[in-house]
Amino acid sequence: MELDDLPKKPKKPYEPLALDGWSAIDLQEYLDHLHAEQRRAKAQLDAKQGLRGAAEAIFKR
């Protein structure tokens, strides 16, 4: 696998949006999406930290 084959991290995944013209329904849907994305990122982080902890435990023996 080449480094070019790996998925690219967005340069600015947190680019703020202009929310002024959004309806209350659109804002709620956007918040729901952000919360889902936050849970997804947290799950990935927890998984990576768990793997790191397991690897550290193996190499400390």
Residue 48, in any domain of the structure: yes
Residue 1, in any domain of the structure: no
Residue 3 DSSP one-character state: G
User: What local confidence, expressed as pLDDT, does residue 59 receive?
Assistant: 77
Residues 6+ apart with CB under 8 A from 25: none
Residue 12, in any domain of the structure: no
User: What local confidence, expressed as pLDDT, does residue 41 receive?
Assistant: 95
Give the CA-trace dihedral at 38, 36, 24, 19, to 10 degrees.
Answer: 40
- For residues 37 and 33, give the distance between their C-alpha atoms in angstroms, rounded to a whole number: 6
Residue 1 has pLDDT above 60, yes or no: no
Residue 9, in any domain of the structure: no
pTM score > 0.75 for this model?
Answer: no
Which domain range does residue 40 map to?
25-61
Q: pLDDT for 17-59, tens place per residue?
A: 999 999 999 999 999 999 999 999 999 999 999 877 777 777 7
